Amino acid sequence: MTKATERTEHVLLSHWLDNRAYPGVSGSTAPVTNPATGEVTGRVALGSVEDARAVIAAAAQAFPGWRDTSLARRTQILFAFRELLNARKGELAEIITSEHGKVVSDALGEVSRGQEVVEFACGIPHLLKGGFTENASTKVDVYSIRQPLGPVAVISPFNFPAMVPMWFFPIAIAAGNTVVLKPSEKDPTASLWLANLWKEAGLPDGVFNVLQGDKTVVDELLTNPAVKSVSFVGSTPIAQYVYATATASGKRVQALGGAKNHAVILPDADLDLAADSMVNAGFGSAGERCMAISVCVAVGPIADDLVAKIAERTTGLKVGDGARDSDMGPLVTKAHRDKVASYIDAGEADGAKIVVDGRHVSADGGAEGFWLGPTLIDHVTPQMSVYADEIFGPVLSVIRVETYDEALELINSNPYGNGTAIFTNDGGAARRFQNEVEVGMIGINVPIPVPMAYFSFGGWKASLFGDSHAHGLDGVHFFTRGKAITSRWLDPSHRGIELGFPQNV
């Protein structure tokens, strides 16, 4: 063990409640590593049920005061948070790189996309407006309002430790809720950095809280009656578990699951644009994106040329430490790196052709880093595990089909429905595709169709459990509930006993 490792291994990444660090009572911790070196850089607290209840209690205690805080004051704090984030987002990007491994420019892009949701939430007063009808019945007015739920939970994955939480908590807080964020144990520091930023922006104690840990604290969030909703992003099996468990406890749930995103390349497409896009969408962030393209569907006679163009671009990518001048960083853990490599082994054993092999990459980083280079696999079939499973790594499979109809059937028969793309110069084909494909987010000559914050983010089929997508108007409605009020002020003409059902006249 190096001296640097000895020094940093004892840094405790704790919980956060009432605008202060809270070490908890469990005493259990897990290592946090730098994926580019393999070194332990700190230890994250693994909370107990008691720790979870303490954090939830802080959120519950803060809720009445924050709910009754004026919209004007709430938005002032949102604007202050936005300004602080904008000024210091480079600092957050470097933190993400040090624990996730993605290159700094990619981490900065993540923060910027999350910031868009903060900016959307700054306009919450307009989005919370109710409706009013005067004299709906004689001297009777009817109006509607939207109110916050209470303490809400956000359970976020390792691959976007800043952006995914920011899909949810800016809108939740702006609408008057209090938040308990449960980040991934693999890269927890971003959550604490954000908590400190909220404190600096003037957010009251207990409104934004962080609960570190594993399944123990997750189960408490899913079942504790003080928590009113759960927002989750992760794998499909866990999303199913979160949805079933939390809804059984009477909570609102939006659980975003896994993906197997296809890009269809039609014969009339610009193959250079398509090849650039496949490399960017397949290998950016080492493929650790729920919107990454993992399947390239080549239609008709273009497959050989397309594969050659992708391979040419892939072999020039520089793999290395994300803090250096690299195109692609390491995978998040050694275990995940080895799992992804096993899919390449399986594809090769099943008869697919390994065109570009990332298993023996020479990386510009530590010898113990979790390296796996970009990998391109041709002649993949739907029966192979490299196609059937969500790999979540820098592995791009090519499936060859003869017709558009075959490509559409391939996508629609897949259990996932998160994102997809089509590359074509034919407007009619593109419009037909967007109408017929059973996927939640579609790109037309755009490989990663992540919508802007004022639209909603979410997939279909096994990629989403629950009715609400993330952010946009879906987010506003998810974090609020409606009331309809019927009022009549003193009117002697309505006195007296009348047991019939009220009628509008």
Higher-confidence residue of 173 and 504: namely: 173
Relative to beta strand 20-22, strand 15-17 is antiparallel
pLDDT digit string (tens) for 25-69?
999 999 999 999 999 999 999 999 999 999 999 999 999 999 999
pLDDT given at position 171: 98
pLDDT digit string (tens) for 304-339?
999 999 999 998 999 999 999 999 999 999 999 999
pLDDT digit string (tens) for 246-295?
999 999 999 999 999 999 999 999 999 999 999 999 999 999 999 999 99
Signed CA dihedral, 362, 368, 369, 374: sign only = positive
Task: Report which of 484, 483, 486 is spatially closest to residue 135, judged by C-alpha positions.
Answer: 486
The one catalytic residue among 52, 62, 265, 290: 290
Task: Report which of 270, 268, 272, 274 is spatially closest to residue 296, judged by C-alpha positions.
Answer: 274
Distance CA 58, CA 210 (A): 11
What 8-state DSSP symbol labels residue 301?
G
pLDDT digit string (tens) for 206-232?
999 999 999 999 999 999 999 999 999
290 is an active site residue:
yes
Task: Report which of 438, 472, 442 is spatially closest to residue 457, judged by C-alpha positions.
Answer: 472
Q: What is the CA radius of gyration of the chain?
A: 25
Q: What is the mean pLDDT of the chain?
A: 95
Question: Does residue 190 register a pLDDT over 80?
Answer: yes
Enter the pTM of the model. Answer: 0.94
Question: Does residue 452 register a pLDDT over 90?
Answer: yes
Answer for the pair 26, 47: CB distance below 8 angstroms, yes or no: yes
The torsion region of residue 182 among left (phi > 0), alpha (psi -120 to 50) and beta comes to: beta
Domain locations along the chain = 11-257+463-480, 261-444
Instruction: Name the helix (H) or strand (E) containing 483.
Output: strand 480-487
In this structure, CATH architecture of domain 261-444: 3-Layer(aba) Sandwich (3.40)
Answer for the pair 426, 268: CB distance below 8 angstroms, yes or no: yes
* Fold topology of 11-257+463-480: Aldehyde Dehydrogenase; Chain A, domain 1 (3.40.605)
Distance CA 329, CA 324 (A): 9
On the question of a common fold for 11-257+463-480 and 261-444, the answer reads no
Rounded alpha-carbon distances, angstroms, from residue 436 to 207, 388, 407, 412: 43, 22, 11, 9
pLDDT digit string (tens) for 144-166?
999 999 999 999 999 999 999 99
- What pLDDT band is residue 10 in, cutting at 50, 70 and 90? low
Task: Report which of 464, 397, 405, 463 is spatially closest to residue 436, judged by C-alpha positions.
Answer: 405
Question: Does residue 176 register a pLDDT over 80?
Answer: yes
pLDDT digit string (tens) for 357-371?
999 999 999 999 999
Task: Report which of 505, 481, 479, 480 is spatially closest to residue 493, judged by C-alpha positions.
Answer: 505
- What pLDDT band is residue 501 in, cutting at 50, 70 and 90? confident
pLDDT given at position 493: 67
Of the candidate ranges 179-183, 352-356, 493-497, the one whose mean pLDDT is the lowest: 493-497
pLDDT given at position 2: 41
